[in-house]
Amino acid sequence: MDRLFLLPTRSGTTATTVAFLFLSLGWVPPVFSVDWKNGDCMACHGEPGELPAGHNHLLVTMDGFDGGPHDGMVCVDCHDSIQALPHQEKLASVNCASCHDSSVDEVAASIHAGVHPPGGKGSSSCVGCHGDHTVEWMEGRTPKETGEKAIRMCLRCHGEPQLDMTPEERKFSTGKAFLSSVHYHELRTGNPDAPSCLDCHGSHGILPRTDAMSTIHPAKTAETCGQCHTQIAETFMASVHGQSLANGYREAPDCTSCHRSHNTPRVDDSDSVTSPAHVSQLCSSCHSSPVVTEKFENLSAKQPATFFDSIHGLAGQLGNLEAANCTSCHGVHDIFASTDNRSKVHPFHVLETCQTCHPGAGPNFVDGKVHVSLASAPTPMLLSV
């Protein structure tokens, strides 16, 4: 880039006097144009130690700059307030928007806007995530390399909660839980489709979960998870839970309600809340909650207790993992109201559902009630045999 290169003088007054003299004579001197080179800056910034005036050098290394996405640019492309060398002590902040305007606009509208002053080195500025002179290429890297770099970057701010944090700060310090998740395990073991923070939250335009446009808003979560779990997401969005979310019922569960958000376990992990040993308790946490059931006329907070009192519920509580649980009869992602003919417990399908465990069952097998409490049953002993 060609720029006016003003040779430094001992006195600014001398330069000003000469300039006015030329202008008063009606003659404009030619512009002295030179090609700025990074070496001009590195003559000072490439050396450790002190300047003659006693100030420390702002040491800059070109190791990460050369070969990076900004390779071929010169220092003054970004530090464009420099008009002469030696330059003024206080420089204007670098404006990344001069090249990356759309990304800067996204950040300005994001949850990170205002967390730290723009142009500073706070963690939510461009420099906070991308670095300053050592910005790296992401193209050509393996998904594992890109994902791990993104995770390390996010954990610098969203790591473990600290004692001196406010409740609001603690809320955003859950990222380290991701390291114990199935997603991180898959990433570490080379699964190219495993997600990192950016796949779920986005990059520049990250919005809070309460924002309807956020990728992690309850109504959008299935769409986000569906980037990887396509068929499951489509099935869920058609279900009674997915449709309730789409209709604005925040009480309905989204993917993270059952599978968690950051520390998502494997579904076949015995400690997982979706495992056969725990899934009925998981369902009960919503279906026995008055906050939830009062929103939906067809739900009763007493319903889960009638399952736990049944032969199926009692067998499960005694450790029989083969016994039917909620998902055995109602489905997992494909749950519908019992009045919907797509439901596994609709009269059209209930016998077929029972026959998955009881292959010899006939039509009379489904005549009795399934959810009946011991206290109200006419013959309680029959329910517990």
pTM exceeding 0.75: yes
For residue 56, what are the β-bridge partners?
50
What ranges in the chain are assigned the alpha helix state H? 12-24, 38-45, 75-78, 101-108, 126-130, 143-155, 167-171, 182-188, 197-201, 221-225, 230-238, 240-246, 255-259, 279-287, 290-293, 303-308, 311-317, 326-330, 350-355, 380-383
For residues 385 and 362, give the distance between their C-alpha atoms in angstroms, rounded to a whole number: 20
**pLDDT tens sequence for the chain (385 residues):** 333 333 333 333 434 444 444 445 444 444 334 578 888 988 888 877 766 666 666 788 887 788 888 988 999 999 999 988 888 888 888 899 999 999 999 999 999 987 764 444 444 578 888 888 888 777 767 778 888 989 998 998 888 777 777 777 777 778 889 999 999 999 999 999 999 999 999 999 999 999 999 999 999 999 999 999 999 999 999 999 999 999 999 999 999 999 999 999 998 899 999 999 999 999 999 999 999 998 888 899 999 999 999 999 999 999 999 999 999 999 999 999 999 999 999 999 999 999 999 999 999 998 877 887 766 655 554 454 4
DSSP 33: E
Angle, alpha carbons 96-100-102 (nearest 5°):
125
What DSSP state is assigned to residue 179? G
